[in-house]
Chain A
Amino acid sequence: MQYLLTSICSLCMVYSGWFIDRLLGKEKRGKWLTSGVLLLTLALVATLPVYGTSYAPILMTTIILYIILAVSWTMFSGPTGYMSLATAAFFGVGIYTAAFMAGDFPPPVFILVGGAASFILALGVGALTLRLRGIYFAIFTFGLVELIRHVLAFIELHVTGTRGRFVFGVDNETIFYYMLGVFVLLMITAYFLNRSKFGLALRSIGEYEAAAAHTGVNVTMVKIVTFAVSAFFMGAVGAIWATKLHYVDPGIAFNPLFTFIPVLMAIFGGMGLLYGPIIGAAFFTLLKEFLTTTLAKYGLGELYMLFFGVILVAAILFMPNGVVGVIQRLTQKWRKGGPVEEHADT
């Protein structure tokens, strides 16, 4: 039952991404009608705790977490082509912020502070590194994850003398709504970012950075600010996620998988449109849940990474533009060879 409900809710979230893409596209017909549908779909997701099983909002929380990580990663790396591997760093900063604050402050405060801490960190890191390109930038951002993890481990060991941190729990329903709230905020931000001159500048950087600079775009500033905005969302959901973990230490908070999994999700879904990473995140989260639980009952649970690997290899070989690319091709065929609708990058 939870698969059905969470799949429907995931489709609703895909729809919300598609709706934003549509708003940004040239197609003007029926937007008011689709906005009404958007309202209904979001209401369907928001009321999941009312009509769903007790576990459905918990699973949906995990799905939304990965959606936010994948979309916020795509927000920067998609249009610019800069491969950031710092997701786990910003996510971990959010987790540790909650670990420090959760007992003394209400969730909205530590979620905002978690996001702000990641934002500020990304501003600093971006200012230092966004002049680097290609593999150098990717390596530096991944190094950031390790750097912060080891610095925190050192502090825990030698300064505070602590051994990880207990994180005060928040009930599952509240976590779900905060996660959903951050998702809505992310969608709105993505819309404004793409619609603005800022978004145009960002896309121009991805297409030809030197040309963008010659036309007067302050490329460094645009990259840094976008990098920081995407980091804000990663930090905010990290702070929310920490309340589910109950215990964190540097190894748990700065787990490199939180860098790689959202990237793989975005690649699978397709990075050209907003709803692509949403499809990838929802699909992989549900697939993992199915493989590690339902298949585990038949002794096949350990095969989940093998499944992941095969699907990703197949996706990269046969769907270079992800699921979104396939959908676009099918749509084109359906329209009997008509031109593919132009979409703005996320």
Chain B
Amino acid sequence: MSKRLLLIPLALLLVFSLVAVSCDGDADVTTTPPPTETTVPPPDDYDTRTSIVIGAARPISGPLNMIGDYALGPLLDIWVDQINAAGGLYIDEYDRALPVELIIYDDTSDLGTMTTLLERLILEDQVDFIMPPCSTAFLYAAAPIANEHGYIFLGGEGGCTTLTALLPDLPYVFGVLNYSDYHQIPALADLFVEWGVETVAYIYIADLHGIEYAHTSESEFLLRGIQVVYSEGVPPEAVDLTPQLQAAMNSGADAFCAYTYPPISIFVYGQAMGLGYNPDVFVIGPGANFQFYYAAFGPMTEGLIGFGAWNRQTSPEANALVDLMVAATGDAGLALYGDEEGFLDWWGQLFYYGALQFFEQAIVEAGTLDQAVIRGVMATSTFDTCLGPTWFDMRDGGGGLLALECHPGQVGQWQNGIYEVIGPAANATADAIYPKPPFPAP
């Protein structure tokens, strides 16, 4: 009798297999074709809608939290508060301004959780717009999902050449941040040439971010006749970088770069000080661009280089953003670091806030919450933001990147407690310090 019983689950297995195979087994990526602008139909929820809901899966916990909380995270709250304080976003098809509501889910710094929650926001919560997750790899994973569902995907903390290559097939994706070959390493390499740097050593974390920076460095330095005398990948969870730092020091390179994420970026500098390793050029990124880095190392950071870059001197709008950040996070910064600017990120925050202001104006300009229409406005418009005139360079009718001309800077350097922009020259807020001065006596 029990053998007959077994026929049932076996039959079920067969049925499920047939169902599964008959389902769409097409393994191709679903790419949404470039939308075309259409006449906006009157919204069905004209009378009932009370707000615009924006959702995001972000690292509230887990290792990425250290980046997310100091980069785009606080800006989302500030942006929403600013909009709501002004009465909301006026949407023409609703004939009224609608307040914005923000839903943030914790992706726990896990990629699978992030992709699941992103789909929950889109399918279950049916949010009106989404915001990006944190880190290059997460952006890379989230962008095709957003695009598949026809949601505008504004980039956040990350960017990579690999994703850029996919942009023609991802019309809803708008990359925001600058990154290795767009246009940071070329700007850094130009500075190296100007200073007469002949040899470079670098380490990098073995993930999408680090490997891309390493590859770009190799080619850009080679292009300018700069020799790479030492390079080494380190695992993302590395804690003791002393062997790599010692090897870099032994190489005698003029410049040393660490393409690492915090907290490794903090370990690198602390351990370099312990070894007395202080080359003529010391680059760390991301990490050195955060104000908390200065809070941690103080005057020891003098001459340290990172990516970015912007500061209060970049523009009056940039100065106003710092004031906004201080108003929102100043108390927390004082409590944690004794510095009311402790939550400032001198790499990405001006980029992110500029992109958010751009997005906000595009929504109002479109007069609808229809993603396709807004996407069309974003692809073809220029709006004034804290970055100045802001627009996206679109790629072959697909997605786009924040135009290079809108970038406030590529390379920054700590000088007397200020993260000065030193490259490219057109964006510089101060002359670069070269060579890096010795560590001051403790």
**A and B assemble together:** yes
A interface residues with partner B (beta carbon < 8 Å): 2, 23, 31-32, 35, 38-39, 42, 46, 53-55, 58-59, 62, 102-103, 105-108, 150, 153, 156-157, 161, 163-164, 166, 168-174, 177-178, 180-181, 184-185, 187-188, 191, 241, 243-252, 255, 257, 288, 292-293, 296-297, 301-302, 304-305
* Residues in B whose Cβ lies below 8 Å from that of A255: 110
Contact B106 A23 (CB under 8 A): no
Contact A168 B28 (CB under 8 A): yes
User: A62 vs B140: C-alpha distance in the bound complex, in angstroms?
Assistant: 21
Contact A54 B124 (CB under 8 A): yes
User: A31 vs B144: C-alpha distance in the bound complex, in angstroms?
Assistant: 48
Give the distance to chain A from B439, nearest Cβ to Cβ, in Å: 32
Residue of B nearest to A249 (CB): B207
* Residues in A whose Cβ lies below 8 Å from that of B211: 156-157, 163-164
* Residues in B whose Cβ lies below 8 Å from that of A292: 60, 105-108, 113, 117
Residue of A nearest to B138 (CB): A247
Contact B206 A250 (CB under 8 A): yes
Q: Is B208 an interface residue (CB 8 A)?
A: yes
Contact B207 A293 (CB under 8 A): no
12 extra interface residue pairs, beta carbon distance < 8 Å, beyond A62-B116, A170-B27: A31-B2, A31-B5, A55-B124, A156-B211, A161-B215, A163-B211, A191-B9, A246-B115, A247-B137, A288-B108, A292-B106, A305-B108
Q: Is B1 an interface residue (CB 8 A)?
A: yes
Q: Which of B11-19, B39-47, B189-197, B252-260 contacts A (4 or more CB under 8 A)?
A: B11-19
Please tell me which one of the listed residues A32, A153, A172, A302 contacts residue B235 in the complex, with CB atoms under 8 A apart.
A153
Contact A174 B20 (CB under 8 A): yes
Known contacts A31-B5, A58-B119; is-contact A164 B207 (Cβ 8 Å) = yes
Contact A257 B208 (CB under 8 A): no
* Residues in B whose Cβ lies below 8 Å from that of A153: 206, 233, 235
User: Which residue of B13, B112, B160, B162 has the most chain A CB atoms within 10 A of its CB atom?
Assistant: B112
Contact A301 B106 (CB under 8 A): yes
* Residues in B whose Cβ lies below 8 Å from that of A252: 111, 137
* Residues in A whose Cβ lies below 8 Å from that of B233: 153, 157
Give the distance to chain A from B266, nearest Cβ to Cβ, in Å: 19
User: A153 vs B211: C-alpha distance in the bound complex, in angstroms?
Assistant: 11
Give the distance to chain B from A308, nearest Cβ to Cβ, in Å: 11
Contact B116 A59 (CB under 8 A): yes
Contact with A along B214-237 (1 / 0, CB 8 A): 010000000000000000010110
* Residues in B whose Cβ lies below 8 Å from that of A172: 119
* Residues in B whose Cβ lies below 8 Å from that of A58: 116, 119-120, 123
Known contacts A174-B24, A302-B60; is-contact A257 B13 (Cβ 8 Å) = no
User: A149 vs B268: C-alpha distance in the bound complex, in angstroms?
Assistant: 23
* Residues in A whose Cβ lies below 8 Å from that of B106: 292-293, 296, 301-302, 304
* Residues in A whose Cβ lies below 8 Å from that of B23: 171, 173-174, 177
Contact with A along B133-158 (1 / 0, CB 8 A): 00001001110110010000000000
* Residues in A whose Cβ lies below 8 Å from that of B28: 168
Q: Is B246 an interface residue (CB 8 A)?
A: no
B interface residues with partner A (beta carbon < 8 Å): 1-2, 5-6, 8-10, 12-13, 16-17, 19-21, 23-30, 60-61, 103-108, 110-113, 115-117, 119-120, 123-124, 137, 140-142, 144-145, 148, 160, 162, 166, 206-208, 211-212, 215, 233, 235-236
The dominant DSSP class at the B interface is helix
* Residues in B whose Cβ lies below 8 Å from that of A32: 1, 5
Give the distance to chain B from A296, nearest Cβ to Cβ, in Å: 5
Give the distance to chain B from A38, nearest Cβ to Cβ, in Å: 7
Known contacts A245-B111, A247-B137; is-contact A180 B16 (Cβ 8 Å) = yes
Contact A170 B25 (CB under 8 A): yes
Residue of A nearest to B23 (CB): A174
Residue of B nearest to A246 (CB): B141
User: A244 vs B112: C-alpha distance in the bound complex, in angstroms?
Assistant: 7
Please tell me which one of the listed residues A102, A173, A174, A257 contacts residue B110 in the complex, with CB atoms under 8 A apart.
A257
Known contacts A163-B212, A245-B111; is-contact A168 B27 (Cβ 8 Å) = yes
Contact B141 A163 (CB under 8 A): no
Contact B108 A244 (CB under 8 A): no
User: A257 vs B160: C-alpha distance in the bound complex, in angstroms?
Assistant: 27
Give the distance to chain A from B179, nearest Cβ to Cβ, in Å: 12
User: A169 vs B108: C-alpha distance in the bound complex, in angstroms?
Assistant: 22
User: A153 vs B162: C-alpha distance in the bound complex, in angstroms?
Assistant: 18
Contact B2 A107 (CB under 8 A): no
Give the distance to chain A from B205, nearest Cβ to Cβ, in Å: 9
Contact A177 B20 (CB under 8 A): yes
* Residues in B whose Cβ lies below 8 Å from that of A106: 25, 27
Please tell me which one of the listed residues A39, A163, A180, A293 contacts residue B105 in the complex, with CB atoms under 8 A apart.
A293
Contact A184 B12 (CB under 8 A): yes
Residue of B nearest to A253 (CB): B111
Contact B27 A23 (CB under 8 A): no
User: A159 vs B5: C-alpha distance in the bound complex, in angstroms?
Assistant: 52
Contact A169 B29 (CB under 8 A): yes
Contact A53 B108 (CB under 8 A): no
* Residues in A whose Cβ lies below 8 Å from that of B166: 166
Please tell me which one of the listed residues A53, A185, A247 contacts residue B123 in the complex, with CB atoms under 8 A apart.
A53
* Residues in A whose Cβ lies below 8 Å from that of B26: 170
* Residues in A whose Cβ lies below 8 Å from that of B1: 31-32
- The 5 sampled A-B contact pairs (Cβ below 8 Å) are A163-B160, A163-B211, A170-B24, A170-B25, A181-B17
Give the distance to chain B from A85, nearest Cβ to Cβ, in Å: 17
Please tell me which one of the listed residues B10, B105, B208 contacts residue A188 in the complex, with CB atoms under 8 A apart.
B10
Residue of B nearest to A95 (CB): B112
Contact B30 A169 (CB under 8 A): yes
User: A171 vs B20: C-alpha distance in the bound complex, in angstroms?
Assistant: 11
Give the distance to chain B from A326, nearest Cβ to Cβ, in Å: 28
User: Which residue of A105, A164, A243, A250 has the most chain B CB atoms within 10 A of its CB atom?
Assistant: A164
Residue of A nearest to B28 (CB): A168
User: A137 vs B415: C-alpha distance in the bound complex, in angstroms?
Assistant: 54
User: A173 vs B123: C-alpha distance in the bound complex, in angstroms?
Assistant: 13
Contact B16 A46 (CB under 8 A): yes
User: A169 vs B25: C-alpha distance in the bound complex, in angstroms?
Assistant: 10
